[in-house]
Structure 1
Amino acid sequence: MEVSGRPIVLVVEDEPLLRMNAVDMIEAAGYEVLEAGSADEAIEILEKRNDVRLVFTDIQIPGSMDGLKLARAVRGRWPPIKIVATSGRVHVAPSDLPDGGKFVPKPYTSTQIVGLLQEMLV
């Protein structure tokens, strides 16, 4: 379903301005972006699509699970999908994320995010 030929990134962020900012950064880097405002919405999107390559999620999101639980759920159900988590309040150790998952503290820069995506979506 990668019609554009560009890797697809799912951004999960409940704060509309932060989500819009992340989407703009990732699109400017040449990726196709899907958006979700909660973990539940993210799972719904992932259940309907088989072309998402990476999930970029805030840790503190509303719904039945936070970003860390979402990361573990994604790893369990869709193992090939890469995971990047972010937070301005919670510090995350590498052991808190599934294998291969990365953490970027907020505020992050476009350079940080784009570099991480390029590294993970080789």
Structure 2
Amino acid sequence: MGYSMHRKVLLVEDETIVRLIGSDALSDAGYEVVEAGSADEAIRILEAIGEVQVLFTDIRMPGSMNGLELAKLVHDRWPTIKILLTSGDTFPPKDVIPDDGQFLPKPYKIETLAQKVDDLLSR
């Protein structure tokens, strides 16, 4: 079980229900999940706990920056963190997602979410 401790996902989603579903799915898949309700909260968490392996963030969020801006900032400050973005209405072209990050359109299947995170970490 020690392996999953090295697999920490920061899940950033302003809708509580969606965040809980994603968190449960990732926990069931063996990931340690840290949750944030906004980009600002996500940055505070990263500053406090340091590295996570994957940032999984919704693009459209309230606060000082959206998920895409958060992804760029995280990539600049913590370049080893893999990026996974999601949205139901904003579909960014591949070249605007930092560092070969991935995009998962909403609504997504929970199995697909875990698979995407696995894929990112196996690169």
Q: Is the 8 A contact 2:75 2:81 kept in 1?
A: yes
Aligned counterparts of 1:60 and 1:8: Cα–Cα separation in 2: 23
Offset, 1:119: 1.1
Aligned counterparts of 1:63 and 1:49: Cα–Cα separation in 2: 21
Percent of pairs identical after alignment?
48
TM-score by length of 1: 0.94
- 1:45-56 alignment runs, 5 A limit: 45-56=45-56
Q: Which amino acid in the other structure matches residue 87 of structure 1?
A: S
| Range that drifts further, 64-73 or 111-120 | 111-120
Offset, 1:4: 6.0
Aligned counterparts of 1:71 and 1:6: Cα–Cα separation in 2: 21
Q: Which amino acid in the other structure matches residue 84 of structure 1?
A: L
Offset, 1:5: 2.5
Q: Which amino acid in the other structure matches residue 66 of structure 2?
A: D
Q: Compare the two structures and name the one with the higher helix fraction.
A: 2
Aligned counterparts of 2:4 and 2:73: Cα–Cα separation in 1: 27
Q: Which amino acid in the other structure matches residue 40 of structure 1?
A: D
Name 1:102's counterpart in structure 2: 102
Give 3-state SS (helix, strand or coil) of 1:73's partner: helix
Offset, 1:51: 3.2
Aligned counterparts of 2:46 and 2:3: Cα–Cα separation in 1: 17
Render the CA deviation track for 1:92-122: whole Å, top value 9, x for unaligned: 1111210221100000011211111111123
Q: Is the 8 A contact 1:6 1:30 kept in 2?
A: no
Name 1:115's counterpart in structure 2: 115
Unaligned runs of 5+ in 1: none
Give RMSD over aligned pairs.
Answer: 1.5
Aligned counterparts of 1:41 and 1:35: Cα–Cα separation in 2: 9
Aligned counterparts of 2:38 and 2:14: Cα–Cα separation in 1: 6
Q: Which amino acid in the other structure matches residue 55 of structure 1?
A: L
Aligned counterparts of 2:91 and 2:5: Cα–Cα separation in 1: 35
The runs of at least 4 aligned residues of structure 1 exceeding 3 Å deviation read none
- 1:37-116 alignment runs, 5 A limit: 37-116=37-116
